[in-house]
Amino acid sequence: MSVLEVEHLSVSFTRYTGGLQQQKVEVIHDLQLRIDEGQIVAVVGSSGSGKSLLAHAIMGILPGNAVMTGSMRYKGEPLNAARQAALRGHEISLVPQSVNYLDPLMSVGAQVRASVKHKDPLTEQRKVFERYQLAQGVERQYPFQLSGGMARRVLLSTATISGARLIVADEPTPGLHHEAAQETLRQLRELADEGCSILMITHDIESALHIADKVAVFYAGTIVEVALTADFAGDGQRLRHPYSQALWQALPQNEFKPIPGVQPLPGELPAGCLFAPRCAVAAADCCDKRPDMRELRGGTVRCFHAS
Ligand SMILES: Nc1ncnc2c1ncn2[C@@H]1O[C@H](COP(=O)(O)OP(=O)(O)OP(=O)(O)O)[C@@H](O)[C@H]1O
Ligand code: NI
Please give the ipTM for the structure prediction: 0.98
Nearest ligand 1 atom to alpha carbon 266: 29
Dihedral sign for Cα atoms in the order 144, 159, 47, 14: negative
**DSSP run (H or E) holding 249:** helix 242-249
Q: CA–CA separation, 24 vs 284, rounded Å?
A: 28
The CA 51 to ligand 2 mean position distance, Å, reads: 5
pLDDT single digits (tens) 73-125 = 999 999 999 999 999 988 999 998 888 889 999 999 999 999 898 899 999 99
Closest-CA residue to 161 (of 100, 119, 197): 119
The CA 266 to ligand 1 mean position distance, Å, reads: 9
Has residue 248 got a pLDDT over 90?
yes
Closest-CA residue to 142 (of 113, 106, 166): 106
3-class state of residue 174 by DSSP? coil
pLDDT band at 148 (very low <50, low <70, confident <90, very high): confident
pLDDT band at 237 (very low <50, low <70, confident <90, very high): very high
Task: Assess contact for 68 and 2: CB atoms under 8 A.
Answer: no
- Of 20-34, 106-120, 170-184, 275-289, where does mean pLDDT reach its minimum? 170-184
Nearest ligand 1 atom to alpha carbon 49: 21
